[in-house]
Chains A and B, each alone.
Chain A
Amino acid sequence: MTSRNIYEQQSANRRNTLFVMAGFTLLVGLIGLGFDSAVLGIVPGDTGSFLGGLPVVTLGALLYGSFAAVSSLRSGAKTVLGSAGAVPIDDTRESYRQYVNVADEMAIAAGVPRPALYVIPDPDPNAFATGTEPSNASIAVTEGLLSGLTRDELQAVVAHEMSHIRNYDIRLMTIVAALIGTVMLLTELGLRAMRAGAFKGRGGSKKGSAGGPILLVIWAIALVLAPVISRILAMAVSRQREYLADASAAELTRNPAALASALTKIDLATEPTRSIKKGTAHLCIADPLAREMNDREGFLADLFATHPPIKRRVMILSAMAYQSRITSPGRPPGSSTGQLPQTPVGTP
């Protein structure tokens, strides 16, 4: 799988996200409909049962979860930028010229308006993007990132963030948050009902069948595991979107090697990025908390990390770089270094 080219990688990531989201929907359905039928005696879809078979609890919880997520999205961008201490950059300042230029370049390559640019006064290299759609998006990078990376590497990081925006990842993660909220609410309700022993169950209804008790047990187990499962699913989505943003960044710059070396540099700076809080972690190019989890490979790390291991990302990017070298031998990287470019810039 490591020998995939950029486009194959992109469609694989999109497919994986779809699978995980389907799993999420299934989980919400299982727990919610389980509650409706076990506690209230509603048989979904059966107009003869209680409340005409309308799964009220499931729908109510979904509504609540969506409402909570949308209201957090409303104030989201400002809060995120504010809590990280990000300040809007002064376009005219010479030291930010390169940052503004690479952002302009990537906006042209992506065909979107250039996002608002912010800087976080933190020496550790990191970056994140926020905003619900390309027209209201922002990108923030740390001072450490600006000073530590070459022009090509900065361009690659900005391309990665631009890809999060272009792929509507912030919106997707909001939907995920809404689903988590729904699961949490349903679990809480379900566990309470269980303690109170309030079961109508299918056995009590006229349509009762032998499957009733077994379904009840399955539902009870799902209820206990739901918080863990929903977290695992959310992190899986998060990691898939990181891989996808890496691949899309490579598509924009046509220079996967630069992103690989930027990631390696970010990885070597072991200090946590103190200005970025835990809640923003999944938006960043690399885990700002420098948690051990995200560096490890293995079963547990695979389940709970917000970001895939950097070494693995670098490996995939290097494979892409190798691929693009064989498929288009004459293609110049389309970008140049620092003030005095070493690579003469070519025409695509």
Chain B
Amino acid sequence: MTFFVVLLIVVAVLALWVVGQYNRLVTLRNQVQNGWKQIDVQLKRRHDLIPNLVNAVKGSMEFEQDTLQKVIAARNAAVGASGVADAAAKENALTGALSRFFALAESYPALKSNENVRQLQEELSSTENKISFARQFYNDIATKFNIAQEVFPGNIIAGIFGFRMSELFEITDAAERAVPGVDLSLRK
């Protein structure tokens, strides 16, 4: 009798523990998916802002049509991208084009005094930051999710229920890594 009571308690505790572990993993997986969607939201916002900005600065930056064209082309390519890898590459190209544009805009005092342009630039640079921070958050939460699946005894639960590791966002383009160097060479 006592034996069965003890056995029952042990089984109950074990079951509760498994439920807890499983729920923790599910919560983390949802947070990871949500984090991924946040990145998309910000990328979409960037796509919407770029045409406005380009139109606003076109008049003052007529000597930089080439740069503006490249930004627009990169933006359109990013909007039309299909698949994660393709989108990542094209978004990275867009980031590059935008940073060249921002660096060039520095040398146009007329742009700085234009209230409309200033607002758009604040919006766009904030959106750029939000993209970075959304990726940073995604990486943090995905790392947490992955660690929860790797450590003992979480790995047992993850194995039983078929949880899979999330991929982290990485800088694939070598030029991306060199961004601070570009900054130095263009600074006035």
B134–A108 CB distance below 8 A? yes
Interface size class of A (residues with CB under 8 A): 20 to 34
B10 at the interface (CB under 8 A from A): no
A344–B179 CB distance below 8 A? yes
A101 at the interface (CB under 8 A from B): yes
Interface-located stretch among A39-47, A72-80, A327-335: A327-335
Q: Give Cα A254 to B132, complex, Å.
A: 11
Number of A-B residue pairs, CB cutoff 8 Å, is 113
List chain B residues, Cβ under 8 A from A211.
none
B126–A104 CB distance below 8 A? yes
- Tell me the minimal C-beta distance from B87 to chain A in angstroms: 12
Partner of B129, one of A97, A336, A340: A336
Residue of A nearest to B117 (CB): A339
Partner of B95, one of A110, A335, A341, A347: A347
Complex interface residues of chain A between 312 and 348 (CB less than 8 A to chain B): 330, 332, 334-336, 338-348
Given contacts A339-B112, A341-B102, A342-B183, contact A101 B126 (CB under 8 A): yes
Partner of B121, one of A106, A109, A110, A340: A340
Q: Is the interface of B mostly helix, strand, loop or mixed?
A: helix
Complex interface residues of chain A between 223 and 267 (CB less than 8 A to chain B): 252, 254
A340–B133 CB distance below 8 A? no
Q: Give Cα A347 to B170, complex, Å.
A: 9
Q: Give Cα A347 to B136, complex, Å.
A: 9
Interface size class of B (residues with CB under 8 A): 35 or more
A98 at the interface (CB under 8 A from B): yes
Could you give, for residues 85-97 of chain B, a 1 whenever the CB lies within 8 Å of some chain A CB and a 0 otherwise?
0000001100100
- Tell me the minimal C-beta distance from B14 to chain A in angstroms: 30
Complex interface residues of chain A between 93 and 126 (CB less than 8 A to chain B): 94, 97-98, 101-102, 104-106, 108-111
Q: Give Cα A332 to B92, complex, Å.
A: 14
Given contacts A342-B106, A344-B103, contact A336 B133 (CB under 8 A): no
21 cross-chain CB contacts under 8 A? A94-B115, A98-B126, A101-B123, A105-B126, A108-B38, A108-B42, A110-B137, A111-B31, A111-B137, A334-B136, A340-B112, A341-B121, A344-B103, A344-B186, A345-B95, A345-B98, A345-B132, A346-B99, A346-B180, A348-B136, A348-B139
